[in-house]
Amino acid sequence: ETGVTQTPRHLVMGMTNKKSLKCEQHLGHNAMYWYKQSAKKPLELMFVYSLEERVENNSVPSRFSPECPNSSHLFLHLHTLQPEDSALYLCASSQDFFPLGLAGGAYEQYFGPGTRLTVT
Partner 1 sequence: AQSVTQLDSHVSVSEGTPVLLRCNYSSSYSPSLFWYVQHPNKGLQLLLKYTSAATLVKGINGFEAEFKKSETSFHLTKPSAHMSDAAEYFCVVSDQDPGGYNKLIFGAGTRLAVHP
Taking CB under 8 A as the criterion, the residue among 15, 27, 51, 106 binding partner 1 is 106
Does residue 39 belong to the site contacting partner 1 (CB under 8 A)?
Answer: no
Taking CB under 8 A as the criterion, the residue among 25, 81, 112, 119 binding partner 1 is 112
Range 67-96, binding partner 1 (CB under 8 A)? 90, 92
What sign does the dihedral 65-97-11-22 (CA atoms) show? negative
Taking CB under 8 A as the criterion, the residue among 12, 15, 27, 43 binding partner 1 is 43
Instruction: Please give the single-letter amino acid code of residue 74.
Output: L
Radius of gyration of the chain (CA): 14
Characterize the bridge pairing of strands 64-70 and 73-79.
Answer: antiparallel
Q: How far apart are CA 32 and CA 11, in angstroms?
A: 21
98 touches 79 (CB < 8 A): no
Binding span for partner 1 by CB under 8 A among 12-20, 68-76, 78-86, 112-120: 112-120
**Which residues of this protein are in contact with partner 1, per CB under 8 A?**
4, 6, 41-43, 45, 48, 50, 55-56, 90, 92, 97-99, 102-114, 116
